[in-house]
Amino acid sequence: MTERFVMLAPLALPLLILLPLAWAALAFVLGAGRGSRLAIAAAAVQLVLAFALAAAVMDGGPLHHAAGGWGAPLGIDLVADGLAAAMLLLTQAVALPLFIFARGYFHQDGAHPDAAGHHFWPLAGFLVAGMNALYLSEDIFNLYVTLELVGLAAVGLVASGGGAAQTAAALRYLFAALLGSGAYLLGVALLYGAFGSVSMVTLTPLIASASASAGAEAAEVALIAALLMVAGLLMKSALFPFHFWLPPAHGGAPAPVSALLSALVVKASIYLVLRLWLGPLAPLLTPLAWLPTLLGAAAILWGSWQAIHAERLKLLVAYSTVAQLGYLFLALPLVGVGSTGASASAIVTLQALAHGLAKAAMFAAAGIIIHATGRDRVDDVAGIAERLPLTLFTFALAGVSLMGLPPSGGFLAKWLLIDLAMARGHWPLAAVILAGGLLAAIYIFRVLRLAFLNLPEAMIEAEHHKARVVPRSAEWMAFALAAASVLLGLFGGLPLLQLVDGVGAGTP
Amino acid sequence: MKRLAVLTAAAAFAALLIGALLDLPAATLDLRPLLAEAMPVSGVAHPVTAVLLNTRGYDTLLEIAVLLVALLGVVVASARADVTGDPGRTLAPPVATSADPMVSALARLVTPLAVIFAIYVLWAGAHRPGGAFQAAAILAAALVLLHFARIVPACAAPSRGLRIAAVAGFAIFLAIAALPLAGGALLQYPPAAAGLLILAIESGLTVSLALVLAGLFLLLADDPGGRR
Amino acid sequence: MSSALLYAIAGVLLFAAGAAGVVMLDHLLRRVLAFNIMGSGACLVLVGLAQRSGIPDPVPQAMVLTGIVVAVAATGLALALIRRLHAQTGRVDGKGEEGRDKGETVAGLTLPVPQAVAGQGRDD
Amino acid sequence: MSAAFAFDLLLVTLLLLAALRALTTPRLGQSLLAFVVFGLLMALAWVRLDAPDIALAEAAVGAGLSGVLLFDAWRALCGEPADEAPTAERMR
Amino acid sequence: MTTNELLPLLVLLSSLLPGLVIFALPEAWHGLRTTLNLFGAVAKIVLVGLLLAGVQAGEVYGFRHVVAPGLELVFKADALGLLFITLSTVLWLFTTLYAIGYLEEAPHRSRFFGFFSLCVTATVGIAMAGNLFTFFVFYELLTLATFPLVAHRGTPDAKRGATVYLGYTLVGGAALLAGIVWLESLAHHTGFTHGGFVATLLPGNEGGLKAIFVLLIAGVGVKAAIVPLHGWLPKAMVAPAPVSALLHAVAVVKAGAFGIVRIVYEVFGVETAQALGLLTPLAVIAAITIVWGSLRALFQDELKKRLAYSTVSQVSYIVLGTALFGPIGTIGGLVHLVHQGVMKITLFFAAGNFAETLGIHKISEMDGVGRRMPLTTLAFSLAALGMMGAPLTAGAVSKAWLGDGAVAANMGWAVWVLTASSLLNAAYFLPILWRAWVRKAPTRWPEEHIVRRGFVETHWLLLIPPLFTAALTVLFGLLPADMASPLSWAQMIAGREYLLPQR
């Protein structure tokens, strides 16, 4: 059984792209509001494929798939290494429960044919396809196309919220995304002009030798290209100070969309930054590693600060994303292994997974709370422990992971990151991580402590009167995501770190 | 102040990059010979088409997906253009007023020509400049012209038939991309059938892309001369 | 200097102008124009640099074709959203979109609470 | 300087001018017009770069379809100032 | 998995699993919830009994779970850990019984007992932690599990108290985390070892190690309520009485004190800590805390507040014992870990009874309560006498060993501190006893909830726990040398630490 599983794995590379493309197209044909079951079934298959892929990569190292059979540099190669396999796993693992959640969430609006659920399914399908393609691609121009696919699908999903605020947020997001991908495209053009290839594998030695020979003009162009690409991607990643588009887009979209965007979409461009930074562009950018780290630290502090002061619940969660994304950039100068033997990229992956699961759960929980209360202010959470205990518990569990408290995945990542920072002597980084955790506690417990308040009886009555039914399946799916983010710390860390670092690598 | 800063930054960036480009040596790698070698088995004679639908056909597959996403986005945006109601605003009523007779005549004249030209461009793409996308663009232009001639109405949301037609090309492409997985790689055409398969993909894409491109316009369009 | 390099340089200038336009311009339609000019610039750089020797290179040409399609797609989406925004708010500029990190306003639009919820949660 | 290069230089200059005009001219209609001209000039540039495929696509899409889309949007946005006021009022 | 690995895991699960199930129980399923609670508590006692027997027979219990390369959750049931486990397990049973009675008919009982069980799980985890990583995991879990308990009443006051508690403990947790990771980056492991492992890092890291010590002690010191980190404790008094009992006697402050013991003995090692000059400052801080807490207690009219400040003072006896270089002080500190728990929980049970039965919250309302509630007041009085260190009580044993330890460690001033504290203890407890037994009862109690029926002055579930723990207070004082007494365990532990078994 297991062996056949692993034998199927090479096929998982193209299938993880083709399958969502196919069901997205089918959902489009099916029409408004339909396709939820299709999407859920397909997402389950994709999750199995992602597991098979991860198992195969863990056993036998990276898998390659040459699209069209040409191979780089003429063709486009798909490559699944540990990092890609981990991100694919995250994407499918978040997508499946979120789809079930979305089905419950949108279902109750069935009476409104033009509700937000209208075009959720095909757009979500293209979004997932785009992300899967992005994680697997090894070709920087192909990556541009996947970036656009992800970006436009995400914008469409934000706009599906329907209100004026959502439209404005979608536009703001669209222009930020287009500016980012434009810069990235120019970088690709320059690299192709300088080296004649868009394949990362081919480019890596060429860039290395160009930057090694002093005074080579190609290196100068390559550096500008690298900066353009990274700047463009940082714009899409909403790294401080490019985060301006994220809070309205993520805070305004319908809950399943916010969850998809915050948990997955921003990770895609960050993944690409890491992949390029630690891969082909490493010789050019390594001296600049402090810059995104500095911005990451600023993001943690600024995002947390804004979350502490946000008045709307979903905006609070969105700003928390701004802050949490900062952690992913802290590790760039920390190449190498810490006292535990986990590499920086493995730790970042762990953090990305923990945050992805937790943030999806938190947005879902926030969505349920808002759905039930009909209001979106943080203060309206008061007394929610009484009415939605499971959802509050979900929110709290997700918060545990975001604060980096044990035994969550966020905690494990934070621990390893601090360990790595200290092993490298980067004390300020460790301090920022600790401070970030405390600030996160402030904004999370801002919500939790209100939730435990007893409301006056009359008010409870009034609330119950207004309360809308949230499907249990939606509540449980949000809970499953939160529980996964916590259990990740206990049981997921070891396999994940081994997956990214390769089995046996980096023993202390 | 901000404007000045942005302009200065843009100018500095352009100067810096142009300076670097002036000294840029020739590219280290040249794909042209590689592509020339691959041409005989690519199934087409025109190199750009070979790249577009064979060696980098995967790019094109995703590109079509991007177009579909954009169409979806437009559908989303035009579905309920006004949250406060006013449904008549988006569901364009049947065209009452007649179009400019000149436009009408032009449209009637141009459309068949455009179809023929599009078929030519599509077919020619195998050998010389042209191909699915250009053909689709021509067809889309014809559709838009027909709209101006009040022959094709604007629509709020595509009907199922239209949706199927818009997706069909993509579906064919997807199927042909997936089939070789049984024995080889994604989009790895058997060399003997490559030409035929590419033509099949291109034919499907022409129709679908034309609809999608025209859809981008028609979903948004108001009737000429103003709303309602 | 070869012709192709000249076009590449023009591409850089177009890109810079377009990018500055996307950042600076207020009217959303103009931003769309700026984005298109920016994209055209990048495409010129791609082909221009690759063809400095004067021999056509089909690979970047095919990429530019892809890029143009993507640009059209983005333009269509942007225009649709702009028109929607206009229908909903009467606005066509990006003003009020900047520097909004405060709680209750989203993307520069202060909305009464029920409507904000109606928009995002499909609760009505 | 060969004649061809001179033509290229002219074309590039016109391209830049059209782009600048599209971005800076105060009247939106003129700006859109300049953009369509820009698209046609781009098509010409692609011909000069031995890329007839792109030229064809650019002419059909960049100048044609995008132009129509933009003009249509412009008319929808700016054509009816009477309709704008109440909408704007309502949202405030 | 062998039995020796399984047993500690079962000890953890015996409260974790019932806790998780209880969360999911509908509010009205009172019977099943109570059954689960009691089943868990009794099962845990049985399991701990097995552990105790095994450890005395020389068995080694423990298991580990790797969470990341080089990072393990390590559990071991050693003598020191078992001392704490036994204390919290036995007291948990009584607290559970008490809470069942106390919360009868109150809302949100599923939530309450769920977190209650998690709380004890975390405490047991702390006790069994085999390295600082594991210790930290459960230390933070304890914070998370106690927050909803403190906030349980849902009043604005409860919200405020819980927030203050959380603020203190999370900042402390961050300090602890920083210290642990710093230490790990130097030593590459954080496993507790007899005699400590830090000595191997000397010479060369003195400055760093001192800073680590400060971070670690500050981290656990928050929960141990060392001055000036004690601010949360009086504020957390808003919690229901069983929670206060849990915070003060079973779980939270004990976890802090226990952490200090672990850090001093098994991370740094007393020798190294002494060599680095860290013990004397610690002792001074403990002394300050003892006196300060007692002084503040003197001026509180609210009974629970006075008890809270008394806790601040008493827990630092443990810290003081730890900081007194030498086996005798160690024994004094360890034995007080148990004795203080037993005595303080009695006081809180009794205070809860006064409040629950008669609505008495203030000391000034306690006139004549001894005649209305003689049994509760008797338990209260015994525990209070113990706190003062009156002869034949558990407190006397602790104080005697601590005093001797101070003399043996050439820290004579500590004896004065102890004496002064005892006097202050008397000063704030004796007036209460005077009021309760001697003064005349008022005609009306503030809010009489439970009517007296014969001997049963209040709900029987509220009465049994304090009586039992009061009995233990006396028993430990009367039979200090018995095999099963905390003192002989403390001697055994100190013996392992110093290889000096006898006084």
| pLDDT-based confidence at residue A178 (cuts at 50, 70, 90) | very high
The per-residue pLDDT for C97 is 43
Token duo for residue E310:
């008394």
User: Whole domain around residue E333: which residue ranges?
Assistant: 315-503
Taking an 8 Å cut-off on Cβ atoms, the answer to whether A168 and C108 are in contact is yes
Q: What is the dihedral of CA E77, E78, E81, E86, to 10 degrees?
A: 70
Residue C50 has pLDDT above 80, yes or no: yes
Torsion of CA B174, B176, B180, B186, to 10 degrees: -40
pTM over 0.95: no
CA distance C73 to chain A (A): 9
pLDDT higher than 70, residue C107:
no
Taking an 8 Å cut-off on Cβ atoms, the answer to whether C13 and B18 are in contact is yes
Q: Which of A413-422, B183-192, B213-222, E251-260 has the lowest mean pLDDT?
A: B213-222
How far is Cα A240 from Cα A235, in angstroms, rounded to an integer? 9
> A442-455 pLDDT, tens per residue?
999 999 888 877 76
Residue B55 pLDDT level (bands cut at 50, 70, 90): very high
Q: Structurally, how many domains does chain E consist of?
A: 1
Q: Minimal Cα–Cα distance from B85 to chain D, Å?
A: 12
Between A502 and A65, residue with greater pLDDT: A65
Listed in sequence order, the residues at least 6 apart from B54 whose beta carbon sits closer than 8 Å to its beta carbon are: A68, A70, B38, B42, B43, B44, B187, B189, B194, B198
Those of residues 162-201 in B touching chain C at CB distance below 8 A are none
Residue E252 pLDDT exceeds 50: yes
Q: Which of E27, E74, E112, E185 to mutate to test the interface with A (most CBs of A within 10 A)?
A: E185
- Hey, which residues 156-215 in chain E have their CB within 8 Å of chain A? 156, 158-159, 162-163, 166, 170-171, 173-174, 177-178, 181-182, 184-185, 188
Radius of gyration of chain C (CA): 20
- CB contact at 8 A, C56 and D51: yes
Predicted confidence (pLDDT) at residue E502 exceeds the cutoff of 50: no
Nearest to E24 by CA among A475, A449, A96, A457: A475
- The domain defined by C3-93 carries CATH number 1.20.1530.20: no
User: CA E287, E293, E294: angle at the middle one, nearest 5?
Assistant: 95
Best to test chain B binding among C55, C59, C63, C124 (most B CBs inside 10 Å): C59
Nearest alpha-carbon partner for A266 in A322, A333, A222, A225:
A322
Of all residues in chain C, the one with the smallest CA distance to D33 is C33
Instruction: Please name the residues between 89 and 108 in chain C that touch chain A, using a CB distance below 8 Å.
Output: 89, 91, 94, 97-104, 106-108
Rounded to 5°, the CA angle A202-A208-A210 comes to 100
Region B180-190: mean pLDDT is 86
Does residue E213 have a pLDDT over 50? Answer: yes
Q: DSSP labels for E228-240?
A: TS-THHHHGGGS-
> What's the mean pLDDT in C54-80?
93
- Say if residue D4 is exposed, middle or buried (CB neighbours under 10 Å; 0-12, 13-18, 19+): exposed
Q: Does A14 touch chain B (CB under 8 A)?
A: yes
Side-chain half-sphere CA neighbours of E407 within 13 A: 7
DSSP type of residue B80: T
pLDDT digits (tens, 9 = 90+) for E88-138: 999 999 999 999 888 887 888 888 899 989 999 999 999 999 999 999 999
| Minimal CA separation from A433 to chain E, in Å | 10
The string of pLDDT tens digits covering residues E234-249 is: 888 888 888 888 877 7
Average pLDDT, chain A: 89
Contact E310, E426 (CB under 8 A): no
pLDDT at C85 over 60: yes
Average pLDDT of the segment spanning D44-54: 93
Which residues lie below 8 Å from residue E384, measured CB to CB, with a gap of 6+? E347, E429, E432, E433
Q: Which two tokens stand for residue E405?
A: 């330890």
Smallest CA–CA separation between A376 and chain C, in Å?
Answer: 7
pLDDT score, position A104:
87
For residues B99 and B147, give the distance between their C-alpha atoms in angstroms, rounded to a whole number: 10
**Phi and psi of A339, rounded to 5°?**
-70, -15
Give the C window 9-38 contacts with D, CB below 8 Å: 9-10, 13-14, 17-18, 21, 25, 27, 29-30, 32-34, 36-37
- Domains of chain B, by residue range, sit at 45-80+94-218
- Indicate whether E237 belongs to any domain: no
Average pLDDT over residues B35-46: 90
Chosen from C28, C66, C68, C95 to mutate, greatest number of chain B CBs within 10 A: C66
Tokens of A361: 């759960």
* pLDDT recorded at residue E498: 63
Instruction: Please report whether residue E433 resides in a domain.
Output: yes
D33-D39-D40 Cα angle (round to 5): 95
Cβ neighbours of residue B143 under 8 Å, at least 6 residues apart?
B152, B210, B211, B214, B218
Nearest CA in chain C to A369: C121
Mean pLDDT of chain B, nearest integer: 82
Over residues E457-479, mean pLDDT: 89
From chain A, the residues in CB contact with E133 under 8 A are 415
pLDDT at A113 over 50: no
Looking at the 3D structure of chain D, how many domains does it have?
A: 1
DSSP string, B147-209: HHTTSS---SS--HHHHHHHHHHHHHHHHHHHGGGGTS-TT---GGGHHHHHHHHHHHHHHHH
Query: Mean per-residue pLDDT for A214-232?
Result: 88
pLDDT at E47: 94
Token reading at A379: 């203060």
| B74 contacts C62? CB cut-off 8 A | no
* φ/ψ bin of D43: left (φ > 0), alpha (ψ from -120 to 50), beta (otherwise): alpha
Q: Do A220 and B23 touch (CB under 8 A)?
A: yes
Sign of CA dihedral E366, E368, E374, E378: positive
- Residue A392: count other Cβ atoms within 10 Å of its Cβ: 23
- In this complex, do C72 and B73 lie within 8 Å of one another by their Cβ atoms? no
Q: Decide: residue B95, CB within 10 A, 0-12 exposed, 13-18 middle, 19+ buried.
A: middle
Cβ atoms A157, A124 nearer than 8 A:
yes
Comparing CB atoms, the residue among C82, C102, C121 nearest residue A371 is C121
Give pLDDT tens digits for E148-192: 999 888 888 888 899 999 999 999 999 999 999 999 988 888 899
Residue E482 has pLDDT above 80, yes or no: no
When pLDDT is cut at 50, 70 and 90, the band that residue E409 belongs to is: confident
Instruction: Give the structural domain span for D62.
Output: 28-78
Q: What is the pLDDT of residue A508?
A: 36
| CA distance linking residue A120 with residue D27, whole number of Å | 38
Residues A43-61: tens digit of each pLDDT: 999 999 999 999 999 988 8
- Tell me whether chains C and B touch (3+ CB pairs under 8 A): yes
* Tens-place pLDDT, residues A480-491: 999 999 999 999
Place of tokens 């810096």: B16
Map tokens 């080089």 to a residue.
E70
Q: Taking 60 as the threshold, does the pLDDT of residue B93 lie above it?
A: no
Burial class (CB in 10 A: 0-12, 13-18, 19+), A157: buried
Q: Which residues of D touch C17 (CB under 8 A)?
A: 16, 19-20, 23
Facing D90 at nearest CB: one of B84, B131, B140? B84
Out of E137, E151, E185, the one facing A339 most closely (by C-beta) is E185
B:8-47 residues touching chain C, CB 8 A cutoff: 9-11, 13-14, 17-18, 21-22, 24, 26-27, 31-32, 35, 47
Give the integer Cα–Cα distance in Å for E402 and E386: 15
Highest mean pLDDT among B169-173, B217-221, E412-416: B169-173
Which of A69-78, B95-104, D56-65 is the most confident on average? Answer: A69-78
pLDDT value at residue B170: 94
In this prediction the ipTM stands at 0.89
Tell me which H or E stretch contains E18: helix E3-24
Q: Where are the domains of chain C?
A: 3-93, 99-124
Residue E97 · residue E39 · CB < 8 Å: no
Half-sphere exposure at residue E270, Cβ-oriented, CA atoms within 13 angstroms: 20
pLDDT, mean of residues E379-391: 92
| Residue pair A65/A77 in contact by the 8 Å Cβ criterion | yes
Q: Measured between CB atoms, does C121 come within 8 Å of chain B? A: no
pLDDT of residue C111: 35
pLDDT reading at E495 higher than 80: no
pLDDT of residue C94: 63
Q: Is E280 inside any structural domain?
A: no
Q: What was the pLDDT predicted at A118?
A: 74
- Residue D48 included in any domain: yes
